[in-house]
Amino acid sequence: MPVQRVDIEEFLSLAASHPVLDVRSPGEFKHAHVPGAISFPLFTDEERKIVGTTYKQKSREEAIKIGLDFFGPTMKDKVVAAETIAASFYKTDNARNTTLLVHCWRGGMRSAAIAWLLDLYGFTVYTLAGGYKRYRNWVLEELSKPHSLRVIGGYTGSGKTELLQALATAGQPVINLEKLASHKGSAFGSIGQPAQPGQEQFENKLALALRSLRTTFSVDTIAPSSVHDVDGDLPPIWIEDESQRIGLVNLPTAFWTTLRQAPVYFLEIPFEERLSHIVAEYGALDKTALIDATTRITKKLGHLQAQQVTDLITENNIKAAFDILLRYYDKLYAKSLQNRKSLEKQLTIIPSTKTGAENLRLVLKG
């Protein structure tokens, strides 16, 4: 079968069950990529620079010749690497006849070269028309669409993330923004988390998560009484109340605006219960990291209280330290709630003495 060039929707559908090889340079891939794609560079960063400079300063033909000088000696290695990837992905000893997806920046010569080689060897190969650039345009289109959201609100320590997990287990459409951002949202949110993605990669992950929900859920997968998305193809998505900025990344403006206008299901959890929850979650974390995070909010927290928190953490009195911090974050969240548009009409209070999954029935009941 000859190499097939497909549009973005077909490419993403195929990517759910086949490996995606990103043949851009390592630097391009590191900056941002299709989530789940495998870096499979045709050129190193330096080689790409040389080819690009030659293209601009001399000619297309001269650039191709130089590119072939780089590509030629690596062809066998590329085939072996592709075979290894396919064998691992499909768990087969006969990887040669499996399917691979290939893309570069604009769907041009780099993907064409790798696709030709892999097709010649015996793989079934699909390339993305327009390449990663088309994917990024699709991401921006996806994030600008209207979505129906249901927001889980509540002061810090209310168990909002645990409730999201329970909703997902119960078969509800959920997006965990903090998981996508690798950050829990506060000054302490990066402690114990993997490195955050860059802004572009965060957007890529969010767009793909939205698409995944759309392909997973339909009018038949949720109770008939459920309200559906504004375009009719997706039930409301449960999401945690967040600031626009989550660590170093920002929610796209259109999505953030939708979140701020969505109905809020507010978990009304007693302070002491929330404090116990926070101490259990953060108490075992590195003390130096906790102190560094406290230092970052000294100006807003106040120098006296910041010093008190630092001293308490040093003394291992975590509960007393987070008693101060929790009251500080309660004030911030209360202010955020007051600034929400049309809040009175869209706020549902969920009174409870519990945190976590126990609130699932109360929230679904509304």
73: CATH: 3.40.250.10
Backbone angle region of 245, left / alpha / beta, with phi > 0 → left and psi within -120 to 50 → alpha: beta
Query: Are 128 and 154 part of one and the same domain?
Result: no
Q: CA-CA distance, 251 to 210, in Å (whole number)?
A: 14
Amino acid 361: pLDDT: 72
CATH number at residue 172: 3.40.50
Determine contact, residues 298/306, Cβ cutoff 8 Å.
yes
Query: Are 247 and 285 part of one and the same domain?
Result: yes
Query: Are 107 and 169 part of one and the same domain?
Result: no
Amino acid 278: pLDDT: 93
Query: Are 91 and 156 part of one and the same domain?
Result: no
Number of domains in the chain: 2
Domain boundary among 112, 140, 168: 140
Determine contact, residues 174/265, Cβ cutoff 8 Å.
no
Query: Are 272 and 326 part of one and the same domain?
Result: yes
Query: Are 277 and 230 part of one and the same domain?
Result: yes
Between β-strands 347-351 and 264-268, what pairing exists: parallel, antiparallel or unpaired?
parallel
Query: Are 224 and 278 part of one and the same domain?
Result: yes
> What are the residue ranges in the chain where pLDDT is below 50?
219-232
Query: Are 89 and 217 part of one and the same domain?
Result: no
Amino acid 356: pLDDT: 58
Amino acid 231: pLDDT: 47
Closest CA relative to residue 6, chosen from 99, 135, 127, 138: 127
Amino acid 240: pLDDT: 95
Residue of 8, 104, 163, 167 marked active site? 104
Query: Are 317 and 331 part of one and the same domain?
Result: yes
Query: Are 103 and 165 part of one and the same domain?
Result: no
Domain boundary among 98, 121, 140: 140
Amino acid 360: pLDDT: 78
**Buried-exposed string 101-117: b where 16+ CB fall within 10 A, e elsewhere:** bbbbbebebbbbbbbeb
Query: Are 287 and 242 part of one and the same domain?
Result: yes
Amino acid 288: pLDDT: 95
DSSP assignment letter at 359: G
Any catalytic annotation for residue 220? no
Domain boundary among 109, 140, 171: 140
Amino acid 57: pLDDT: 96
Write the CB contacts of 269 (distance below 8 Å, at least 6 apart in sequence).
Answer: 154, 155, 157, 158, 159, 277, 352, 353, 354, 355
Query: Are 193 and 332 part of one and the same domain?
Result: yes
Task: For the sheet with 264-268, list strands across it.
Answer: 174-175, 237-240, 149-154, 264-268, 347-351
Q: What sign results for the dihedral spanned by CA atoms 89, 129, 12, 134?
A: positive
Domain that holds residue 94: 4-140
Amino acid 223: pLDDT: 42
Predicted TM-score of the model (pTM)? 0.90
Per the structure block, which two tokens stand in for 272?
């002491």
